[in-house]
Structures are given as structure tokens and as C-alpha cells.
Structure 1
Amino acid sequence: MFGSANSKVKLQTKYNKLMQEAYDLSTVNRKKSDQKRAEAEEIGQQLDELERQS
């Protein structure tokens, strides 16, 4: 139970970091911004899957 909650927190933190990086890059380098957003979306899907399992 705690492992699942701990992994959710880690994934959420990583998701937030990637989204912030994507936002910061959006005005400088659109391609890198899109890559960061894609990584964040993958993390988001993992978070959704964990929610469905709970």
C-alpha cells in the first residue's frame, strides 16, 4: 500500500518537473518543449493506470 502511494508521489513530482521544463522551453526551443511534454504525458498515463488500480 505504501509503495503504491510512494510511487504516485514520485511520478507526480516527475510529471510536474517535466511540465515545468516544457513550459520554460516553449518560448526558446519548441522541439525540446514538445519532447518534454511527451515524456510528461507518458508519466501521466502511468499515474492514470495507478489510479485505476487503486
Structure 2
Amino acid sequence: MFNPFKKKSALENLQDKYKKLLAEAHSLSQRDRKAGDQKMVEAEEVGKQIEALRAK
């Protein structure tokens, strides 16, 4: 049954953060390439954390 109070796992939180950073990087890259690249670096770091959690 649907549980509205269920907390997200650490992996789900990181995946949401990763998607959000990629979207921000895309929108920023259209206006400010340097800021877009910085967001991509942040997204890559989160991606590495996701891979580390999956490897466990």
C-alpha cells in the first residue's frame, strides 16, 4: 500500500540531486558556459557517489 511517510533512501536522494544538477547545468550552459561546466563537475561528483553506493 502507498505510504506517504516513507523516507527516501540515500541512493534515491543522490539520484534526485544528480538529475537536478544535470538540468541546472544544461540551462546554465545556454547562458553561461563556465557556470554550466561547474554544475557538470558537481553532477559528476554526485555520480561517483551513486556508483560507490551501488558497488556496496
TM-score, normalised with respect to structure 2: 0.84
The amino acid of 1:45's aligned partner reads: K
Aligned ranges 1:30-41 → 2 under 5 Å: 30-41=33-44
Letter of the aligned partner of 1:50 in structure 2? L
Count of residues in correspondence between the two structures: 49
Question: Percentage identity across aligned positions?
Answer: 45
Structure scoring higher RCO (CA < 8 A, sep ≥ 6) equals: 1
> What CA RMSD, in Å, does the superposition of the two structures yield over aligned residues?
1.0
Q: Unaligned regions of 5+ residues in structure 2, if any?
A: 1-7
Runs of 4+ in 1 over 3 A off after TM superposition: none
Unaligned 5+ segments in structure 1 are none
Going by fraction, where is helix more abundant, 1 or 2?
A: 1
Q: Rg: which structure is higher?
A: 2
- The answer as to 2:35 corresponding to 1:22 is no
